[in-house]
Amino acid sequence: MPGLADMHLHLLGAAEPTGSREFIFPLLVANGITTVRDMGGDVGLLKELRKEIAGGKRLGPQIFFTGPYLDGDPPYFQPSITIHKDGEAASAVKLLKSEGVDFIKVQSRLQPQAYFAIARAVRENGMRYVGHVPDSISAEAASDAGQASIEHLTGVLLSCSTREDELRARQLAPWQNNNSVQQSAEQMRNWQRDLLDSYSPQKAAQLFQKFVMNHTAQTPTLPLLIHLAYLRPESDLANDPRLKYIPDKLRKGWEVGRQAALANQSEPDFVLRKRLAERSLSIVKEMHDAGVVIMAGTDSTAPNVFPGFGLHEDLFYMVEAGLRPMEALRTATSMPAEFLGRSAWQGAMAAGQRADLLLLDANPLEDIRNTVKIRAVILNGEYLNRSVLDELLRSAEQFAAAH
């Protein structure tokens, strides 16, 4: 089958300056990930990684990247460029284009003026932009403005609500007051309940038609949603054998993230999280059936999301959502190739295509979980048999033990 694409990860997410090379790359290649879209990192470092792979110095996937985030003030993550007005948006887009990024990435705290200024600047520079739907605008407005892909289903469920404007105002309100921890938790609980209860199949259908018309792809990153955003206490990684591949520093960060996700939560919160996870899966199926482009992605190395392994989990969740195995496989093969403008030479098995292929021991069309039964990876024409893949895993384990 074709090699897999993870359309949302962060190569520089842990144990740098060598972690991407000695920890993340081996796990990606050993899991058959031959193409990635890095969704936020230092341009210079990412270009260096891509050069090493292209020059044959290192085994790794084909890399596409966005560089720094464009966000409001204060930004959620670093590296970020803060955008307030039109001139700043134009300058940032021109700078990133000159540095060779493949996409511009927008983040959640952008205000409407800044967001739409970025959209104009991207069009004027012949580029595309991707990322979060900012909290201050609707998913429909983002699609109409030209956002090429929406990550994590940000803004999608809200734009399917009959109470969209009211709920958006309530979502923004906590930024403007000084609630106690208990008050904030109660406010979020009520907001989530109202969001779920006001879901409108009619509004959803209209929104998904808009996505199709505007060619707005979706990267749901289901492992991130299920293992972090909608985390429940029973999701315990303590005995997960894959932890041996995770450096100690990163594992500690994961535990901090896990505790933060569970803090000040009660049983009603976890019931809501279960409903949110179920609704997210159903929305993925509804969007797929409507003709929306769905792409596989993980957001590794976010807490509880294993590089490489997480992409297979995403495919499992796609099938759990209701996609057939072949449809799920396309979210990690032909759909990303088409989105990246590379369908003429990757993402399928045909003469003349780039030789990024997997040889499996069992048929994933019979059981999607067979994608993990990898006998060999062919990475840009280089044949990596099972012993080579096992050695990559051993090297990642050794790096994790030392860091």
Q: What is the 3-state secondary structure (H, E, C) of 74-85?
A: CCCCCCEEECCC
In a domain, residue 209? The reply is no
pLDDT reported for residue 182? 77
Q: Is residue 183 part of a domain?
A: no
Q: Binning pLDDT at 50, 70 and 90, where does residue 181 land?
A: confident
pLDDT of residue 174: 65
Indicate whether 300 belongs to any domain.
yes
Confidence check: pLDDT of 244 > 80: yes
User: Which residues contact residue 125 at a Cβ distance below 8 angstroms, ignoring those fewer than 6 apart?
Assistant: 93, 94, 97
Which of these, 64, 46, 399, 400, lies nearest to 254 by C-alpha position?
400
Q: 161: which residues sit within 8 A by CB, 6+ positions away?
A: 167, 194, 195, 198, 199, 200, 203
**pLDDT score, position 367:** 98
Residue 201 lies in a domain: no
Residue 366 — pLDDT band, cuts 50, 70, 90?
very high
Count the alpha carbons within 13 Å of 380 in the hemisphere toward its beta carbon.
13
Let me know: does 238 contact 316? Beta carbons within 8 Å: no
Sign of torsion over alpha carbons 134, 137, 138, 139: negative
Share of the chain above pLDDT 90, in %: 86
Tens digit of each residue's pLDDT (9 = 90 or more) over 64-117 = 999 999 999 999 999 999 999 999 999 999 999 999 999 999 999 999 999 999
Whole-angstrom CA distances from 259 to 70, 254, 304 are 28, 9, 12
- State mean pLDDT over 206-224: 98
Of 15-29, 123-137, 373-387, the one with minimum mean pLDDT is 15-29
Q: What is the pLDDT of residue 177?
A: 59
Is the CB of residue 27 less than 8 Å from the CB of residue 309?
yes
User: Residue 291's domain is classified under what CATH number?
Assistant: 3.20.20.140
Residue 183: its pLDDT value, please? 78
Structure confidence at residue 379 as a pLDDT band (50, 70, 90): very high
DSSP per-residue letters across 241-306? GGGGGS-HHHHHHHHHHHHHHHTT--HHHHHHHHHHHHHHHHHHHHHHHHT--B-----BTSTT--
198 inside domain? no
The tokens describing 242, both together, are 């894959």
Please, what is the average pLDDT of the chain? 95
Domain membership of residue 48 (yes or no) is: yes
pLDDT of residue 113: 97
pLDDT of 39? 98
Identify whether 191 is part of a domain: no
pLDDT of residue 15: 77
* pLDDT tens digits along 120-168: 999 999 999 999 999 999 999 999 999 999 999 999 999 999 999 999 9
Structure confidence at residue 42 (pLDDT) = 95
**What's the maximum distance between 2 C-alpha atoms anywhere in the chain?**
62
When pLDDT is averaged across residues 242-261 and rounded to a whole number, the result is: 92
Instruction: Look at strands 374-379 and 357-360 and give their pairing.
Output: antiparallel
How many domains does the chain fold into? Answer: 1
Residue 201: enclosing H or E segment and its boundaries?
helix 201-214
Q: How far apart are CA 97 and CA 95, in angstroms?
A: 5
Domain encompassing residue 122? 4-153+215-259+275-402
pLDDT above 70 for 197: yes
Residue 14 forms part of a structural domain = yes
Quote the pTM value: 0.96
pLDDT band at 179 (very low <50, low <70, confident <90, very high): confident
Model pLDDT, residue 330: 98
Whether 12 shows a pLDDT value over 80: the answer reads yes
